[in-house]
């Protein structure tokens, strides 16, 4: 720098000391710079790769540099050369700080780097400041009579309008993004933009007020705006886990508290004050340590929980994929199996009927076995296909107005022979008054009821089965374990209820919650039904639910028989 300066100007130093309380200069600069740097570094060290954390560090370093420069200007006025060296970059640093603030807001809201175009625009706009800052277009010399550097209007004005421009940019950007944002992020955007704008305004406005009123205390007070900004930031960090570092806020708080208390030592004039400051400092250290430790524990616990939750979510995802793959596999395999099995069953039936000529008894016996097995296979395949249809949401329903009495009569006719061969009774209890027709998929409800009757005959050793249908004024509520909630009438409206009761092996209470689940079978049932799959009730439940109805079982327990019930609302739009 080629200024012709007298260094050591004691008069100016004195003059500054007379106009502004020097302790205010210390207070407004030193703790503020330290707090800013601490927050910046803490956040950065924990999130080195995060652009937002880097920007925060850049902001705090820039701000601290400005504070150091400004501090030297205030304190070192007797050394005019140093004052000039410290003063000349202040405008540039100021401008950089505004740019970084804008950058920070962009990244905070958009969660990504700013575009190349915006970077170029900012570089072009700040170029004149970079070029002018080290020249006499910025500071032309040092005025001995005013005790300050002689700032040039063009540079001052350029920086002034530049800062106004950036502030308006930040405001418009925040408003735009706020309006577009979802509710949950709106508060974050609001807090950040209000924090930054308050800070910029207090920082920038205070120095403007100081210039116009020539009372430079204001400029010093303006610096406390940084504390507001840091407060906002700390709040954002804690509240929204912006950097996920609650700990940082606690550490920064404790360190700055200790620094503030510690700085009292410089002002303590008597021994009582020194002792008091010492005690306060010790207490702050103790409490601060405890605070940091407890926050740390909490953060660690939360992090562990998060890791576990993430792992669980991953495993869950994996399971879902496996389950889908399995459903897909079952669907393909079953389709491939169905055609040949149907052919086997068809030809076996033709052979048995004698379409290919008279057969000997032993051949007939073997053919009957083939027929029986292939029938079991067909129904197993049908169950598997139904499961895969339910799980992939491809189960198709054809709703039409249909009659339940007709349905149970048909089923009765189908099963009466089987019941008779087993020496069981099969009773059909028709309602006293005719039932209204309801919208339903006749084939599917028939399939469901048929499975109830089929099971009832299979899981009964003596006695028999009763099929009944009735109209009820309202439906019952079934809890998540499959039990009817007593005394609670729901507002389902009229329901048609079909009940299949038997005098069979019954169902222990503890099995009821699982019965309607996929592949779920009772403990000792294989003895009575070897080929069961545990799929019939699961498919039935899905059919009932597609009709806005419900299925459940009631049983007094082992060997006490059971009643399988389905209810379908009379009025419902399919
Ligand atoms: P599957 O009969 O092929 O095993 P279901 O899904 O139709 O499959 O039935 C599931 C289970 O429910 C049966 O394995 C049996 O334990 C029980 N169950 C069904 N109906 C009755 C009944 N009427 N009496 C006793 N237990 C039954």
What average pLDDT is seen over the chain? Answer: 84
Distances from the Cα of 485 to the Cα of 39, 480, 494, angstroms: 58, 10, 18
pLDDT band per the 50, 70, 90 thresholds, residue 47: confident
Ligand 1 neighbourhood includes 515 CB (under 6 angstroms): yes
- pLDDT tops 90 at residue 435: yes
If one compares 240 and 17, the residue with the highest pLDDT of the two is 17
Ligand 1 neighbourhood includes 441 CB (under 6 angstroms): no
> Would you state the pLDDT for residue 27?
72
Pick the range with the lowest mean pLDDT from 58-72, 101-115, 247-261, 269-283. 247-261
> Would you state the pLDDT for residue 2?
45
CA of 521 to the centre of ligand 1 (A): 6
If one compares 543 and 301, the residue with the highest pLDDT of the two is 543
> Would you state the pLDDT for residue 517?
93
Ligand 1 neighbourhood includes 379 CB (under 6 angstroms): no
**570 contacts 438 by C-beta, under 8 angstroms:** yes
Pocket residue to mutate for ligand 1, from 422, 503, 537, 543, most atoms within 8 A of Cβ: 537
Tens digit of each residue's pLDDT (9 = 90 or more) over 395-415: 889 999 999 999 999 999 999
SS3 of 419, please? helix
Pick the range with the lowest mean pLDDT from 132-141, 311-320, 382-391, 404-413. 132-141
Which residue lies with its CA nearest to atom 21 of ligand 1? 455
Pick the range with the lowest mean pLDDT from 52-56, 103-107, 308-312. 52-56
Question: Distance between alpha carbon 164 and the CA centroid of its chain, in Å?
Answer: 38
Q: Please state the rounded mean pLDDT for residues 64-81.
A: 80
Q: Please state the rounded mean pLDDT for residues 117-121.
A: 92
Tens digit of each residue's pLDDT (9 = 90 or more) over 164-180: 899 999 999 999 999 98
Residues in the chain: 574
Ligand 1 neighbourhood includes 534 CB (under 6 angstroms): yes
Highest mean pLDDT: which of 86-90, 227-231, 353-357, 378-382? 353-357
Q: Which of 410, 401, 495, 489 is nearest to 449 (CA)?
A: 410
- Bridge partners of 467, per DSSP, are 428, 500
pLDDT band per the 50, 70, 90 thresholds, residue 162: very high
**152 contacts 162 by C-beta, under 8 angstroms:** no
Q: Which of 109, 101, 108, 113 is nearest to 229 (CA)?
A: 101
Place of tokens 């950097």: 243
Residue 468, Ramachandran bin (φ over 0: left; ψ between -120 and 50: alpha; else beta): beta
- Residues in Cβ contact with 120 at an 8 Å cutoff, skipping those fewer than 6 apart: none
Two tokens, residue 321: 């994929």
CA of 471 to the centre of ligand 1 (A): 26
What are the backbone dihedrals phi and psi of residue 566, each rounded to the nearest 5 degrees, phi first? -130, 140
- pLDDT tops 60 at residue 258: yes
Q: Please state the rounded mean pLDDT for residues 38-49.
A: 77
- Bridge partners of 567, per DSSP, are 497, 550
Pocket residue to mutate for ligand 1, from 521, 557, 565, most atoms within 8 A of Cβ: 521
Place of tokens 């200069």: 25
On the CB side of 123, CA atoms within 13 Å amount to: 7
* % of the chain surpassing 70 pLDDT: 86
| Alpha carbon distance 137, 68 (integer Å) | 23
| Alpha carbon distance 215, 338 (integer Å) | 94
**454 contacts 448 by C-beta, under 8 angstroms:** no
Mapping DSSP onto H, E and C, the string for 136-169 reads: CCCEEEEECCCCEEEECHHHHHHHHHHHHHHHHH
If one compares 176 and 5, the residue with the highest pLDDT of the two is 176
Ligand 1 neighbourhood includes 533 CB (under 6 angstroms): yes
Angle between helices 51-75 and 80-87 in degrees, nearest 10: 150
């Amino acid at each position: 720098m080629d200024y012709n300066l007298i260094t050591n100007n004691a008069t100016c130093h004195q003059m500054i000391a007379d106009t502004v309380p020097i302790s205010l200069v210390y207070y407004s600069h030193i703790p503020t710079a330290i707090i800013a740097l601490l927050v910046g570094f803490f956040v950065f060290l924990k999130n080195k790769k995060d652009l937002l954390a880097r920007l925060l560090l850049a902001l705090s370093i820039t701000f601290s540099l400005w504070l150091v420069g400004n501090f030297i200007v205030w304190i070192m006025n007797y050394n005019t050369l140093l004052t000039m060296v410290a003063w000349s970059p202040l405008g540039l640093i100021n401008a950089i700080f505004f740019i970084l603030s804008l950058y920070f807001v962009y990244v905070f809201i958009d969660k990504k780097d700013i575009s190349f175009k915006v970077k170029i625009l900012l570089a072009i706009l700040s170029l004149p400041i970079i070029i002018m800052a080290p020249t006499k277009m910025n500071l032309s010399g040092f005025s001995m009579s005013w005790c300050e550097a002689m700032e040039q209007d063009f540079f001052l004005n350029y920086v002034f309008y530049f800062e106004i421009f950036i502030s308006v940019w930040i405001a418009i950007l925040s408003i735009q993004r706020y309006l577009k944002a979802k509710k949950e992020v709106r508060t974050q955007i609001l807090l950040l933009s209000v924090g930054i704008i308050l800070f910029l305004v207090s920082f920038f406005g205070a120095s403007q007020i100081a210039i116009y009123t020539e009372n430079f205390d204001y400029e010093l007070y303006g610096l406390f705006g940084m504390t507001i900004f840091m407060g906002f930031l700390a709040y954002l960090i804690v509240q929204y886990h912006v950097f996920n570092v609650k700990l940082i806020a606690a550490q920064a708080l404790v360190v700055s508290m200790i620094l503030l208390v510690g700085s009292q030592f410089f002002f303590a004039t008597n021994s009582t004050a020194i002792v008091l400051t010492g005690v306060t400092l010790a207490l702050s250290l103790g409490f601060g340590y405890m605070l940091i430790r407890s926050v740390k524990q909490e953060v660690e616990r939360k992090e562990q929980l998060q890791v576990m939750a993430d792992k669980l979510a991953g495993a869950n995802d994996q399971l879902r994929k496996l389950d889908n793959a399995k459903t897909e596999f079952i669907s393909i395999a079953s389709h491939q199996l169905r055609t040949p099995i149907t052919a086997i069953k068809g030809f076996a039936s033709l052979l048995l009927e004698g379409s290919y000529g008279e057969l000997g008894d032993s051949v007939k016996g073997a053919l009957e076995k083939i027929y029986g097995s292939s029938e079991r296979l067909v129904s197993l395949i049908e169950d598997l296909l139904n499961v895969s249809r339910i799980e992939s949401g491809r189960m198709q329903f054809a709703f039409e107005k249909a009659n339940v009495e007709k349905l149970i009569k048909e089923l009765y006719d189908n099963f009466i022979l089987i019941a008779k061969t087993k020496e069981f009774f099969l009773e059909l209890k028709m309602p006293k008054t005719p039932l209204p027709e309801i919208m339903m998929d006749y084939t599917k409800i028939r399939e469901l009821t048929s499975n109830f009757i089929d099971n009832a005959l299979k899981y009964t050793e003596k006695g028999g089965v009763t099929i009944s249908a009735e109209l009820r004024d309202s439906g019952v509520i079934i809890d998540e374990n499959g039990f009817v909630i007593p005394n609670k009438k729901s507002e389902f409206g009229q329901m048609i209820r079909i009940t299949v009761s038997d005098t069979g092996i019954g169902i222990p209470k503890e099995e009821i919650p699982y019965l309607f689940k996929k592949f779920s079978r009772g403990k000792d049932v294989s003895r009575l039904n070897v080929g069961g799959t545990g799929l019939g009730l699961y498919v039935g439940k899905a059919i009932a639910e597609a009709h806005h109805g419900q299925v459940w079982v009631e049983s007094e327990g082992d060997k006490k028989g059971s009643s399988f019930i389905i209810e379908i609302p009379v009025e419902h739009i399919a």
